[in-house]
Amino acid sequence: MLNGQAVYEWGISLVEKIDFSYVVLFMIAAVTYYLIRPVIIWLITSQAIRLLNYVMTSFIILLFLMGGIALTAIFQLQLLEAALHSLAAFGGCLVIAHLLKFVFQKKIKRA
């Protein structure tokens, strides 16, 4: 049976194992997503396809450029790894949130 002390010690050991850069990068990804989302929705509804294509192409080019720079610098490899893990975790959270939203909307429509 678990007691309060065991749960506390488990929580402390978990906090010590988590790299702070993962948390910061995850939060940056979340804030950026929620700041850019209205702009993307506006661009889609106003049918600014060329502008959206330009922005996404520029982003991809910058991403590859920065990734290449980070891969060539030995010290930045750990930061790149943390960034990729954080982005993957944030993407997984988005997938789960959208799936839950889809399931609950479907249940409400049936009722």
Domain ranges for the chain: 4-110
41 residue type, one letter: I
Residue, of 86 and 38, whose pLDDT is higher: 38
d(CA 101, CA 78): 35
| Residue 6: predicted pLDDT | 73
pTM: 0.51
Which residues, 6 or more positions from 82, have their beta carbon under 8 angstroms from its beta carbon? 19, 21, 22, 25
The tokens describing 99, both together, are 């799936």
Task: Say what percent of the chain tops pLDDT 70.
Answer: 78
Q: Per this entry, what is the length of the chain?
A: 111
Per-residue pLDDT band at 36 (split at 50, 70, 90):
confident
| Residue 74: predicted pLDDT | 54
